[in-house]
């Protein structure tokens, strides 16, 4: 999901609680804050020698230990106001893929894309998913599309 698509959902769902699900039946605590908006650039070379460049925008979510008992979530309006404040200081790249950075004591910090958004009467539920690492040089490594882990291990070009 692109940043501008996410912002459009927030704008169309004024003053609703914004809730994030980071795993099956696991919600980011109501004590979360949006602590950073990151314009991220990737300039990479894969094991097959191909270079890649892309940009993403990461929103960092952090749970405040001083607000552990909090029961109400940040609203769509509050998140939009933070994004707009950041955009006034350093332009947010709204045409890039949006990913959420989040972790807690029992979940390693991860950067996760939006899987889907569920609109509820008083909430916007954003479901995230963890992406698996993968070889970006499948053709150079001889890894067929959709190959299982055992096939990929046999075909690795980096061994």
| H or E element, residue 139 | helix 138-141
Residue 128, pLDDT > 70, answer yes
CB 18 within 8 A of CB 10: yes
Question: 147 pLDDT exceeds 90?
Answer: no
Can you tell me whether residue 113 is helix, strand or coil? Answer: strand
Residue 21 has pLDDT above 70, yes or no: yes
What would the two tokens of residue 81 be? 């106001």
**Cα–Cα distance, 64 to 50 (Å, whole number):** 41
Residues 10 and 18: their CA atoms lie apart, in Å, by 9
Residue 44 CA to residue 53 CA, distance in Å, equals: 6
- Region 105-120: mean pLDDT is 96
Decide: 59 and 102 in contact? Cβ < 8 Å: no
Region 103-116 average pLDDT: 95
What's the pLDDT score for residue 130?
Answer: 83
pLDDT score recorded for residue 153: 53
The string of pLDDT tens digits covering residues 42-98 is 999 999 899 999 999 999 999 999 999 999 999 999 999 999 999 999 999 999 999
Burial class, 137, CB count within 10 angstroms (exposed 0-12 / middle 13-18 / buried 19+): middle
Q: Where are the beta strands (DSSP E) in 3-149?
A: 17-23, 26-27, 32-45, 51-63, 97-104, 107-119, 123-128
pLDDT band at residue 132 under the 50/70/90 scheme? confident
Q: The whole model's pTM is what?
A: 0.85
């Amino acid at each position: 999901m692109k940043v501008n698509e996410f912002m459009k959902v927030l704008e169309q769902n004024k003053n609703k609680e914004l809730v994030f699900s980071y795993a099956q039946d696991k919600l980011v605590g109501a004590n979360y804050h949006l602590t950073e908006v990151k314009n991220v650039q990737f300039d990479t070379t894969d094991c097959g020698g191909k270079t890649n460049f892309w940009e993403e925008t990461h929103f960092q979510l952090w749970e405040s230990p001083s607000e552990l008992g909090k029961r109400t979530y940040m609203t769509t309006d509050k998140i939009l106001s933070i994004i707009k404040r950041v955009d006034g200081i350093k332009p947010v790249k709204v045409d890039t893929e949006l990913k959420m950075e989040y972790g807690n004591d029992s979940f390693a910090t991860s950067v996760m894309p939006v899987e889907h958004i569920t609109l509820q009467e008083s909430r916007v539920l954003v479901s995230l998913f963890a992406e698996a690492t993968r070889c970006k040089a499948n053709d150079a490594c001889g890894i067929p599309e959709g190959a299982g882990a055992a096939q990929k291990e046999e075909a690795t070009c980096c061994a």
